[in-house]
Amino acid sequence: GENVEQHPSTLSVQEGDSAVIKCTYSDSASNYFPWYKQELGKRPQLIIDIRSNVGEKKDQRIAVTLNKTAKHFSLHITETQPEDSAVYFCAASIPSGGYQKVTFGTGTKLQVIP
Amino acid sequence: DGGITQSPKYLFRKEGQNVTLSCEQNLNHDAMYWYRQDPGQGLRLIYYSQIVNDFQKGDIAEGYSVSREKKESFPLTVTSAQKNPTAFYLCASSSLARTGELFFGEGSRLTVL
pLDDT in tens, B58-113: 999 999 999 999 999 999 999 988 889 999 999 999 988 777 889 999 999 999 98
- For residues A56-74, one letter each, b for 16 or more C-beta atoms within 10 angstroms of the residue's C-beta and e for the rest, the string is eeeeeebbbbbebeeebbb
Give the residue from chain A lying closest to B99, CA to CA: A100
Q: What is the DSSP track for A10-29? A: EEEEETTS-EEEEEEES-TT
Give the residue from chain A lying closest to B30, CA to CA: A99
A36 touches chain B (CB under 8 A): yes
A88 touches chain B (CB under 8 A): no
What single-letter DSSP state applies at residue A83? G
Q: Which of B45, B100, B106 sits opposite A34 (nearest CB)?
A: B100
Low-confidence ranges of chain A (pLDDT < 70): none
- The predicted-structure confidence for A42-72, as pLDDT tens digits, reads as follows 999 999 999 988 899 999 999 999 999 999 9
